[in-house]
Amino acid sequence: MAIQDADDSDPEEEEEVPGVQDLPNQPIKREILDLKREVTWVGDPLTENRRAYYSEALVDGQEIHPGDYVLIKPDKPSQPLYVARVMYLFQSMLGVKMFHLQWFM
């Protein structure tokens, strides 16, 4: 693997890399979510195209909303946790409770 030295540049020209402090003002969930958790919808759904969309879910008693950041535990314990942002919560036509997530790698 080849490694290239970085060019020295003036600090004024450097772009700031967004960090955790720059994320939207949303709480970061401390609990680790996995597929074996109890999920309960809160409130009435908005139904569109035979799907029911929700604004809140309780996952083992913890509130999850669109825009929240969550940690997902992979199947293999040797893999690191995945970070994701909840985009929306919905129930499929078959009654399966699902979250659409934006993954951060």
The CATH number for 32's domain is 2.30.30.490
98 domain-assigned: yes
- What is the total count of domains within the chain? 1
Report pLDDT for 17.
45
Q: Distance of CA 95 to CAs 39, 41, 52, 90, Å?
A: 12, 12, 9, 9
Taking 60 as the threshold, does the pLDDT of residue 74 lie above it?
yes
Report pLDDT for 25.
54
When comparing pLDDT for 75 and 31, which is higher? Answer: 75
Tokens of 20: 């955790």
When comparing pLDDT for 9 and 92, which is higher? Answer: 92
15 domain-assigned: no
91 domain-assigned: yes
Report pLDDT for 24.
53
Average pLDDT of the segment spanning 2-31 = 49
64 domain-assigned: yes
Q: Kindly report whether the global pTM for this prediction surpasses the value 0.95.
A: no
70 domain-assigned: yes
47 domain-assigned: yes
Please give the mean pLDDT across all residues of the chain: 76
Per the structure, the complete domain to which residue 100 belongs is given by 26-104
> Is residue 12 helix, strand or coil?
helix
Report pLDDT for 33.
46
Taking 80 as the threshold, does the pLDDT of residue 2 lie above it?
no
Min mean pLDDT across 6-10, 42-46, 59-63, 101-105 is at 6-10
20 domain-assigned: no
7 domain-assigned: no
Burial of 61 (0-12, 13-18, 19+ CB in 10 A): exposed
Measured in whole angstroms, the distance separating CA 74 from the mean position of its chain's CA atoms is 14
